[in-house]
Amino acid sequence: MPDARQHARAARRLMRSANGGRLLALRAVIVLVLLMTAQAYDGSLHDLSHWIILSLYAGSSVWFALAERGGGRRAESYAWAGTLLNAGLAAYVVVEHLVAGADVQGGAADVVSHLPAFLLLLQTALSARVRHTAFYAGLVSLAWGGALLLAALNPAGFLGPHVDLAEQVPGLLTFAVASLVVIDGVARLRAAVTEGLRLEHQRTLLARFVPEDVADDLAREGGLGTVRRRHACLMVLDIRSFSRLSREHAPEAMVEALLAFRALAQGAVSAHGGLVDKYVGDAVLAQFVVGAPDAQAQGALACARAIRTRLALLNRARTARGQFPLAVAVALHAGELLIGVFDDGARAEYTVLGPAMNTLARIEARTKAAGRDVAASEDFLRLLGPILPQGVALAPVDDGGHPALYAVGEGGLS
């Protein structure tokens, strides 16, 4: 199962893939800015150095980008080399401007010299690497601040013509603040993408066992191995006299009857928003955990009625083929459960725990003993409200058991 590091790496790959076109566009913009910077100075050696640096950066950045995209063990090393190249270029342009100066007064040259630092900051951030972005910002800030300190200590010997030290400090402060904002944004975005991938992975695993909204809840709570308290309506279906039928009929006939019964139960439960938890011999345990408790109860009751109708059709078909009919007892209950999926590395299993499960087993036994087709606990019936669905009738089961049990039937049940 992927761990947090694998999800983080997947998130980084996803973000880099999505930002690949933007990175290339930013590289092109930065090259254009360097071209503009090369024209912002007089005809000194600095003009030529700009062309040299521009050529080296263009070739090196493309080479590092292609090497990193190729993957392999050295991909991370190439990525660090590219980040170092970006930081070196940004620092060079800023320091070179302080030393060389502009050929005209005004802030245009200042803006042009500062712009590569901000653009390269964005380009590094688009790689979705927080440490790289922080390293770039720290290195550029250190070089920029060091140059300003030297200029403050020796203005005449360090600053170029038309360069005002007071106008350079706000640029550094702006870059520092922007770096903090960008680093925080990259960290938050990467964490959000990583968490999204984790949730999607856990949701995919859990969806094999539980409905989608239950899988969403469990994934947000921690995924596999997490138990969450949740209300559910419970249903157990049991073939009557299965032991006697097994003695009277061949094993092949019993297997065919059992599979037909399970298919009937699976179809009815799924059609009414339920979940077949497990098959236990000739019994089927189903849960209705989606929606509000009253909606769960309505779905479970509708399912029980549908099972009775489907069973009548199944028995009609079986009788026509000369096969024995099936009689099924259905027990309904409701309560709070602890729900989760546990994976021990060898097998993942959907698990339901709670007193309501023990009560359901007793209700099932009482339903069969009373000879009722469908019976429900008082806790279950309370969820349906004071008005029962049309055609549903109740009759108390006077067996002295607890909780109170009611037979559920159609029309005039006595």
Q: What is the mean pLDDT of the chain?
A: 79
- Residues of the chain above pLDDT 70, percent: 70
Confidence of residue 356 (pLDDT cuts 50, 70, 90): very high
Segments making up each domain of the chain, as ranges:
4-206, 212-410
- Pick from 3-17, 188-202, 313-327, 330-344 the range whose average pLDDT is largest: 313-327
212-410 CATH pick, 3.90.550.10, 3.30.70.2740, 3.20.20.70, 3.30.70.1230: 3.30.70.1230
- In DSSP terms, 135 is beta-bridged to none
Give the pLDDT of residue 296: 93
Q: How far apart are the first and last CA of the chain?
A: 56
Is there a contact between 408 and 392 (Cβ–Cβ < 8 Å)?
yes
Q: Pick 403 or 301 by higher pLDDT.
A: 301
Rounded to 5 degrees, what angle do the CA atoms 91, 95, 96 make? 110
> pTM score, two decimals?
0.57
- Pick from 161-175, 211-225, 285-299 the range whose average pLDDT is largest: 285-299
| pLDDT over 90 at 258, yes or no | yes
Q: Pick 174 or 402 by higher pLDDT.
A: 174
- Burial of 204-215, coded b for 16+ CB within 10 Å and e otherwise, reads ebbeebbbeebb
Give the pLDDT of residue 221: 61
Q: How far is CA 103 from CA 40, 44, 110, 111, 413, in A?
A: 7, 10, 11, 14, 102
Give the pLDDT of residue 18: 43
| pLDDT over 50 at 257, yes or no | yes
Is there a contact between 292 and 378 (Cβ–Cβ < 8 Å)?
no
Give the pLDDT of residue 30: 67
| pLDDT over 80 at 206, yes or no | no
Q: Which of 283, 287, 266, 261 is nearest to 275 (CA)?
A: 287
DSSP string over 391-404: TEEEEE--S--SS-
Average pLDDT over residues 211-239: 76
Give the pLDDT of residue 226: 67
Average pLDDT over residues 45-64: 62
Confidence of residue 94 (pLDDT cuts 50, 70, 90): confident
Give the pLDDT of residue 414: 43
Q: How far is CA 14 from CA 79, 98, 135, in A?
A: 16, 39, 22
| pLDDT over 70 at 71, yes or no | no
